Amino acid sequence: MSFLAIKDVHHTYFTKVSATTALSEITLQVEEGEFVSFLGPSGCGKSTLLSIIAGLIKPTQGSILLENKPLSGAKNQIGYMLQQDYLFPWKTIEENILLGLKLSKQLNDETKNAALDLLKQMGLNGIEKQLPKQLSGGMRQRAALVRTLATEPKLLMLDEPFSALDYQTKLKLEDLVSNTLDAFGKTAILVTHDIGEAIAMSDRVILFSPSPGSIHKVFPMPDELRSLSPFKARNHERFSSIFQTIWKELESLESGKE
């Protein structure tokens, strides 16, 4: 049985004037340790699906199983990273990264030291007592990653976590996140609209088509790209041919819409 199983999920948003189906017939399995990307044009429901997997939204229909168990009891097993760091500006970096542990009542000397160690591993030394606004965008996003990893989630959700960063920082952070996840053997789902990022980081790219959001096509990445770090994968000779394939598929989705 798969690590994460998404079975026939439908989701509809209701407003006074309309009912919009954001997702329909999503069935998907993710294996332990796998890195999967959700790629698609905006409005294809990929962020909605992420919120459903994280247990933040209840789907209109369908079920999510994490290690064969329904999601409800599994809240702390899922870490979520947003487009911006959303570090609390009135808390120091230390208070920020220990927040998850505090809320789930796991805060003790051991977990605290582990979190602070992780901060050092991320290259953030001696900033524990600083406030988020004293840090650069890349450093803040790294601190946010530490905050997410501190509770040791089994599954990590990344909702366009690099989209607000400049290109250079983004490439560096892609490598850092990828290495960290490999080292901890974490399963991760990345939502992005950046084709290159999806190819460079993932084991599998899942292309979504919009209105209603559904899985259009699944692209498994070849082993030679999977074994490389994102930065090296971007320079691999097969990278551009895969990029072209996905690009054309995305184009066909756009033209099909009109």
Query: Is residue 13 a contact point for another protein (CB under 8 A)?
Result: no
Q: For residues 38 and 50, is the Cβ–Cβ distance under 8 A?
A: yes
Nearer to another protein, 82 or 228 (CB): 82
Joined together, the tokens standing for residue 137 give 């965008």
Give the list of residues 6+ apart from residue 97 with CB closer than 8 angstroms, or none.
115, 116, 118, 119, 143, 146, 147, 150
Query: Is residue 75 a contact point for another protein (CB under 8 A)?
Result: yes
Query: Is residue 184 a contact point for another protein (CB under 8 A)?
Result: no
Query: Is residue 208 a contact point for another protein (CB under 8 A)?
Result: no
Query: Is residue 99 a contact point for another protein (CB under 8 A)?
Result: yes
State the nearest-atom distance from the C-beta of 82 to another protein, in Å.
Answer: 6
Kindly tell me which residue out of 16, 68, 90, 167 binds another protein, with binding defined by CB under 8 A: 90
Q: What one-character-per-residue DSSP string does 94-151 give?
A: HHHHTHHHHHTT--SHHHHHHHHHHHHHTT--S-TTS-GGGS-HHHHHHHHHHHHHHT
Q: How far apart are CA 235 and CA 205, in angstroms?
A: 18
Give the H or E element holding residue 2.
none
Query: Is residue 84 a contact point for another protein (CB under 8 A)?
Result: yes
State the nearest-atom distance from the C-beta of 89 to another protein, in Å.
Answer: 8
Query: Is residue 218 a contact point for another protein (CB under 8 A)?
Result: no
Kindly tell me which residue out of 40, 45, 59, 79 binds another protein, with binding defined by CB under 8 A: 79
Number of amino acids touching another protein (CB under 8 A): 17
- Tell me phi and psi for residue 240, to 5 degrees: -70, -30
* CA distance between the termini of the chain: 40
Joined together, the tokens standing for residue 188 give 């991760």
Q: For residues 41 and 193, is the Cβ–Cβ distance under 8 A?
A: yes
Query: Is residue 54 a contact point for another protein (CB under 8 A)?
Result: yes
Tally Cβ neighbours within 10 Å of residue 254. 11
Q: For residues 130 and 93, is the Cβ–Cβ distance under 8 A?
A: yes
State the nearest-atom distance from the C-beta of 221 to another protein, in Å.
Answer: 27
Joined together, the tokens standing for residue 255 give 């033209």
Segment contacting another protein by CB under 8 A, of 79-87, 161-169, 208-216, 250-258: 79-87
**Backbone Cα Rg of the chain:** 18
Nearer to another protein, 46 or 216 (CB): 46
Nearer to another protein, 151 or 209 (CB): 151
Q: How far apart are CA 32 and CA 4, in angstroms?
A: 8
State the nearest-atom distance from the C-beta of 76 to another protein, in Å.
Answer: 5
Segment contacting another protein by CB under 8 A, of 59-67, 95-103, 184-192, 199-207: 95-103
Nearer to another protein, 3 or 86 (CB): 86
Nearer to another protein, 73 or 222 (CB): 73
Applying CB under 8 A, which residues contact another protein?
54, 56, 75-76, 78-80, 82, 84, 86, 88, 90, 99-100, 103-104, 151
